[in-house]
Amino acid sequence: MNFILMEINYLKITKKILFLDSQIDKKLPIESTEVINNKSFFKKHKLIEKYFSKLYGKMRLDELKSKAGICFSFELPKKIEKQLYDFGKIVIENKDFKLKQQVDEIYNLLFLRQYKNIIVLSTAIWLVKDSCVQENNTYFITQSGYQNQVSIEMPYTLANGEHKTIELTEKELKKVEQNYFLLYSIMTKPLPVTPTVIHHSIRTLTIENDKLDRSKESSFVRALLNLQNARRSGQLSVKIDFYMQVLQCIYALEGMKSTKIEKTLQEVTKNLLDLTVTEQTVLANALLLSSNSTEDEFENENKGIFNTIKKAFRIRSKQSHGNKINYSAVDIENTSIMVDEYVRRVLQIVLLNPELDYNTKEEAKKVSEYFINLGKDS
């Protein structure tokens, strides 16, 4: 059996998560996909534990064992395993760079398929609650002797720019599973072109995913890409900028003056979430418990959707134009926390309605009219 073991940061689990198995690509020889406690993996595979410790050191092994992981197991036909083993000997003995690239391409087919899984899973968890679950290192453990250590750039942060390990309740896990299936078909659509793979040396390569032009994708895909950018930034003004892009993309707000966009963002978000003033204040109070605020700067009248969106829009404007942002650090942090929650709730509603996913100008116009007219009949 061969394994690809992904080290997952900022997620604590007490039992296996198995629903990723249902999305196995039958064209690839993947046997199973499980979210596990890495300690249990090495407890079951003592020879691999010894081999890993020899390759990467005991400290690295102990760190990996202390975390969760996604374990992909797969079998290859014996003839192919033997051929890959022979290729490995040739690569080592002759330093055959081109042959190494060809072997990398074979294993990258498996890795890229699983790379999508961690991004979808992390987003599915975020849709339940603010989190920064991310891949740290990925290890190939193979019968052919092929060795590779891969890192994915997923520098996610919480809404306040910090990092924290979370644990999911049974109820939350059920929601994560639902979100995973909802997001999977959207986030794993075939790319218009294959990402460029650049080999820097016999040992090092990069897969240039971020370079791809995704601006022509459907609105749901673009909104979720902007969400990834928001989550990947620890600079809160940048995070807020991308949050607002998510909302503007979802609501199809184009061709409006800035003041009109701000007002529409306020009204549509308020009508879509359908929260009373009291509910908005209670929500804000609960969320801001996680803030580092030591000042009473976010008074009740500033906790409503209208004022939060107004503040976020103006922070976004200052940020995108390179101007000085006059709000305090505490105010920016609190705004980021609130907008993060609003975006989460908006996506929870909108992603369940595929008819709101637009591609053309005509579709965008209909979606925009739908959102603008929300609440007008009540």
Distance CA 330, CA 279 (A): 22
Q: Kindly tell me if the per-residue pLDDT of 367 is higher than 50.
A: yes
pLDDT for the residue numbered 147: 80
Report pLDDT for 274: 87
Q: Which pair of tokens denotes residue 222?
A: 């673009």
**Gap between the Cα atoms of 138 and 13, Å rounded:** 18
Do 278 and 360 lie in one domain? The reply is yes
Q: Which of 208, 230, 260 is the last residue of a domain?
A: 208
122 part of a folded domain: yes
**Residue 250 sits in the same domain as residue 163:** no
How is residue 154 written in tokens? 């997923």
Q: Do residues 236 and 203 both lie within one domain? A: no
Domain's final residue, options 149, 184, 208 = 208
Regarding whether 191 and 263 lie in a shared domain, the answer is no
The model's pLDDT over 32-65, given as tens digits with 9 standing for 90+, comes to 888 999 999 999 999 999 999 999 999 999 999 9
Task: Specify whether 191 is located in the same domain as 245.
Answer: no
What pLDDT score was predicted for residue 177? 95
| Same domain (yes/no): 192, 170 | yes
Q: How many domains does the chain have?
A: 2
Whether 235 shows a pLDDT value over 80: the answer reads yes
Full domain range(s) for residue 333: 219-373
- pTM value is 0.91
Query: Is residue 213 in a domain?
Result: no
169-190: pLDDT as tens digits: 999 999 999 999 999 999 988 7
Based on the domain organization, do 191 and 258 belong to the same domain?
A: no
157 and 98 together in one domain: yes
pLDDT in tens, 248-258: 999 999 888 88
Q: Is the pLDDT of residue 295 over 90?
A: no
Query: Residue 302's pLDDT band (boundaries 50, 70, 90)?
Result: low
Residues 164, 257 within the same domain: no
Q: What's the pLDDT score for residue 222?
A: 96
User: Are residue 74 and residue 133 in the same domain, yes or no?
Assistant: yes
Question: Exposed, middle or buried, 11 (CB in 10 Å: 0-12/13-18/19+)?
Answer: buried
Q: pLDDT class for 26, splitting at 50, 70, 90?
A: low
Whether residue 179 is found in the same domain as residue 244: no
The SS3 call for residue 67 is coil
Residue 378 lies in a domain: no
**Region for residue 207 given its phi and psi (left: phi exceeds 0; alpha: psi -120 to 50; beta: otherwise):** beta
Least confident of 117-126, 152-161, 220-229, 281-290: 281-290
Q: Are residues 232 and 144 in the same domain?
A: no
| In a domain? residue 214 | no
Predicted local distance difference test score (pLDDT) of residue 27: 62
In this model, does residue 283 exceed pLDDT 70?
yes
**What does pLDDT average to over the chain?**
88
Strand pairing partners for 6? 70, 138
> Tokens 């305090």, residue?
328
- Asked if residue 138 is part of any domain, the answer here is yes
